[in-house]
Amino acid sequence: MDIGGFDIEFPITVTREVLRFIFRLVDAIWTEAVYVTDVSGIRAINDLVRVSRDPPVEVFLFKNRGAAESWKKLGADSGNHDSMIYLIAEKDRLTFVVDDAECNTAKLVAEVTKALSNQPTFFGP
């Protein structure tokens, strides 16, 4: 899937708890959110909240099932603008790929990183 886009990097020690926090926050904002990994197919994001997996993790987060299906069919089509976040979680950083710096998904990522910055130190090493 060709996604193009704008990368937002956030240095942080990534743990399962950090990932769960991100998935819960995205699920709270995008109430119909789904995710896709290389092996999962389209699944509800609340299933991902229960995943106990350490980085590295790569996951596509979509606003809803329709957006995921459209991305699968059309890729980075103009009709799919602002409906997906590609998250790459490594041990020492998160990379969020969104359409552009001004889109709503970039604003959602800004809220996520702001919330992560305000978390207690149990997210640290």
Instruction: Give the domain range for residue 58.
Output: 6-117
Task: Return the higher-pLDDT residue of 85 and 56.
Answer: 85
Q: Is the pLDDT of residue 121 over 70?
A: no
What is the model's pLDDT at position 123? Answer: 42
Inside any domain, residue 85 = yes
Inside any domain, residue 104 = yes
Number of folded domains in the chain?
1
What is the model's pLDDT at position 124? Answer: 42
Phi-psi region of 8 (alpha: psi -120 to 50; beta: other; left: phi over 0): beta
pLDDT category of residue 75 using cuts at 50, 70 and 90: confident
Inside any domain, residue 123 = no
Q: Is the pLDDT of residue 94 over 70?
A: yes
Inside any domain, residue 68 = yes
Task: Return the higher-pLDDT residue of 49 and 80.
Answer: 80
Percentage of the chain surpassing pLDDT 70? Answer: 87
Q: Is residue 11 reached through a cis peptide bond, with omega within 30 degrees of 0 on the bond before it?
A: no
Q: Is the pLDDT of residue 2 over 70?
A: no
Q: What's the mean pLDDT in 26-55?
A: 82
The full length of the chain comes to: 125
pLDDT category of residue 49 using cuts at 50, 70 and 90: low
Inside any domain, residue 125 = no
SS3 116: helix
Inside any domain, residue 82 = yes
Task: Return the higher-pLDDT residue of 55 and 7.
Answer: 7
CA 97 to chain centre: 8
